[in-house]
Amino acid sequence: MKQSVFTLVPGVVLLLGSMISQAASMPEPDILISQTGQHLVVNLPQARLFLYQDGRLQKIYPVAVGKMLTQTPTGSYAITGVYRDPSWHVPKSIQDEQKNQGKPVLTVVPPGPDNPLGPVFIRFGEAKLGLGFHGTNAPASVPGFRSHGCIRLKNPDALNLADTIQKGAAVTVAYQTVLLNEDSAGELWLTAYKNHYKQDDPSFPHLADSLLEWQRSHAVAVVGKRVDQALKERSGKPVCLTCKSGTANPGELAAVRWLSLPPKGGAPVEQQAVPQDPAAQSYNSAGNKLKPAKKPAVLL
């Protein structure tokens, strides 16, 4: 019989009951956000892109990220270019995929309505990685897990982002399936997403201790049964762990710092570094500057 994450810790009395909010509030992942300038955060299990300016959340975009076989890589990057009406230089791996599927093998797709990059491509990281934010000729694929590694936006959102973002802005791609947030009333909410990549989420082993610590510091009971239900269903809907009412609405949710802050005597559970010098992304470990590809392929 599966135990609650709380029954493993003796001496802690928790309330029973369950309540899943039907609100459309979008919880924030727990990432160290740059307090100056722009910072883009993608949490892959959410299929959402968060835009911050000087540490404050400005906008949330739905996105399509890499599918299981072509996962979007996590890490810290910087915006390295914005290209309007781009041509798509098809990577060799996708050419092989087209050949295996009996489709015409394309090497370059010119700008236009049939271009999978849409009207704009916003590169992050080194050109050889082939990564970026871009529009799409398949708007119904957003949000979701359908790309070859790049991050798709609907065309109006891609153009809006291109008009907003600056070269050198920080980019963090994270994989957090469990989010903790507080609403304006101080209630604690948990949101669990499906583990699409079947990865070990480094946050999960620390969840019970983090919830118990929150309970102790706030002197408010956390409902263990609601935790178990949320983790079992992984519906992507915020679940209130402390509300007395079963019809509570979270309203705006702010991230609880439980991953980005170091535990006592240790380092952060999941380090999400912000690049201090975007130019550093263009050098290898030996200190030699990397030459950009003349026609870098894009993963799509």
Active site residue 134: yes
Which residue in 39, 134, 148, 196 is the catalytic one?
Answer: 134
Residues 230 and 239: their CA atoms lie apart, in Å, by 7
Helix (H) or strand (E) holding 211: helix 207-218
Residues 281 and 289: their CA atoms lie apart, in Å, by 9
Q: Copy the structure tokens of residue 96.
A: 């092989």
In terms of Cβ atoms closer than 10 Å to its own Cβ (0-12, 13-18, 19+), residue 56 is exposed
Amino acid 191 reads T
Residue 107, strand partner residues: none
Which residue in 150, 196, 240, 243 is the catalytic one?
Answer: 150
Q: Are 181 and 27 in contact (CB under 8 A)?
A: yes
Q: Copy the structure tokens of residue 100.
A: 């295996």
Active site residue 243: no
Catalytic residues: 134, 150
